[in-house]
Amino acid sequence: MLNDKILNFLNKVLDSSLPPETKNEIVRFYTLPRNTHVRPMVELPEDDIDIGPVTRPTAKDEYRKLHPMETAGDEAVTETLKGRI
């Protein structure tokens, strides 16, 4: 079932200073059969995975991030004039 490489790897994982939860998940991942309905945490998909195009910040977004005081002032002026203009 397990070849020597995986067995040696699992022995080193168990002898390491990793947290027990991590050790358990690694061992479960390598020892569970592939056709089981129980999936180890390594294979479980995250709920918040956002698959889609890559969005990059605009030049204006980068400028606002680099100049927070100016951004705060602009937002204050915008909020003050909101509804008047």
Give 42-83 pLDDT, tens digit per residue: 555 566 566 677 788 899 999 999 999 999 998 899 889 887
pTM for this predicted structure: 0.41
> pLDDT, tens digit, for every residue of 11-36?
898 999 989 888 888 888 878 776 76
How many Cα atoms are found within 13 Å in the side-chain-facing hemisphere of 76?
6
Residues 24 and 59 in one domain: no
Q: Are residues 68 and 30 in the same domain?
A: no
30 and 60 part of one domain:
no
Query: Which one-letter amino acid corresponds to residue 11?
Result: N
**64: exposed, middle or buried (C-beta count within 10 Å: 0-12, 13-18, 19+)?**
middle
Residues 73, 38 share a domain: no
More confident residue, 67 or 7: 67
Range of the domain at 7: 1-44
Q: Which residue has tokens 């390594």?
A: 42
